[in-house]
Amino acid sequence: MTWRATVLTLFPGMFPGPLGTALAGRGMERGLWSLEARDIRDASTDRNRRVDDTPFGGGAGMVLRADVVEAACAAAMPEGDPRPLVFLTPRGAPLRQSLVRSLATGPGAVLLCGRYEGVDQRVVEARGMVEVSIGDYVLSGGELAAMVLLDACVRLLPGVMGAAESAEEESFSPSEAGALLEYPHYTRPAEWRGLRVPEVLLSGHHAEVARWRRAQSEAVTRERRPDLLQTEQRRDSAARMPMD
Ligand code: 6GU
């Protein structure tokens, strides 16, 4: 079955963009997933195709109207469409690999991209949208965030990744093994500009390599993401990804 993505946006021309190339693009060509970008403006009944209005209570910027967004959702999703509706907004809960995995396991997703100051909250709630952010910075719209979310989902779909890549994920990978950042990687030449690859990696001692990598993972995690080492953040299993 094809995993089906529908994006509701004021800028449908931004899609598929980078999702039409590389791994995701090949997956799309092979029919493993599909992408439909729909113009929210097509749902406007206004003779000037207006989609936004000024915020009640005052303040800067404009707000996408509830009636327009509802009409766009209704047009995109037939009654009983089982796909979750995700609203990309900096107000959302942080995107984690656990949500990515759960979306990738399902039939697909409908993604609403915010623009302007926001979307009338009544339609967000009436439609039971899941509000998601991709990080603590502000983008000019939800489109790039939607692409990030789709890329993360699509790479998990059965058949999208080659045998080498998926095999790598299933074997030991520190990022899967204990909520740690990855160890550093090296390849040939063994010496470059006078810089040697760590000798342990050339030793052929698999157990020592594994021990060294684990120590590197712990050190870089302590340095960059100490929050991942807090036990209450590690959740139940020792077999989770860092961003889970
Ligand atoms: Cl989902 N949207 C916008 N506009 N900015 C963001 C974001 C989303 N996530 C982080 N920054």
| Bind-site residues | 114, 134-139
Tell me what pLDDT residue 234 has: 53
Residue tagged 């209450």 (tokens): 232
Q: Closest ligand 1 atom, CA of 145? A: 1
Alpha carbon distance 103, 192 (integer Å): 43
Alpha carbon distance 99, 101 (integer Å): 5
Amino acid in position 92? G
- One of 1.10.1270.20, 3.40.50.300, 2.40.50.140, 2.60.210.10 is the CATH number of 172-233, namely 1.10.1270.20
Q: Checking DSSP bridges between strand 195-196 and strand 191-192, what pairing results, if any?
A: antiparallel
Q: What is the CA radius of gyration of the chain?
A: 22
Beta carbon of 55 within 6 Å of any ligand 1 atom: no
Beta carbon of 139 within 6 Å of any ligand 1 atom: yes
Tell me what pLDDT residue 44 has: 98
Q: What integer is the mean pLDDT of 53-58?
A: 97
Burial class (CB in 10 A: 0-12, 13-18, 19+), 14: middle
Burial class (CB in 10 A: 0-12, 13-18, 19+), 36: middle
The string of pLDDT tens digits covering residues 89-129 is 999 999 999 999 999 999 999 999 988 789 999 999 999 99
The string of pLDDT tens digits covering residues 155-197 is 999 999 987 666 554 443 434 445 899 999 999 999 999 999 9
Structure-block tokens of residue 17: 């963009």
Residue tagged 């009983």 (tokens): 80
Substitution candidate for ligand 1 out of 88, 99, 136 with most atoms within 8 A of CB: 88
Beta carbon of 207 within 6 Å of any ligand 1 atom: no
For residue 143, report the distance from its CA to the centre of ligand 1, in Å: 9
For residue 226, report the distance from its CA to the centre of ligand 1, in Å: 24
For residue 89, report the distance from its CA to the centre of ligand 1, in Å: 5
Residue tagged 């740690």 (tokens): 180
Beta carbon of 113 within 6 Å of any ligand 1 atom: no
Q: What is the DSSP letter of 185?
A: -
Tell me what pLDDT residue 162 has: 83
| Bind-site residues for S-adenosyl-L-methionine | 114, 134-139
Fold assignment, 3-154: Alpha/beta knot (3.40.1280)
Which ipTM value was assigned to this complex? 0.98
Beta carbon of 134 within 6 Å of any ligand 1 atom: yes
Alpha carbon distance 55, 131 (integer Å): 20
Beta carbon of 9 within 6 Å of any ligand 1 atom: no
pTM score of the predicted model? 0.91
Atom 5 of ligand 1: nearest residue by CA position = 139
Domain boundaries, the chain: 3-154, 172-233
Substitution candidate for ligand 1 out of 115, 138, 150 with most atoms within 8 A of CB: 138
For residue 88, report the distance from its CA to the centre of ligand 1, in Å: 6
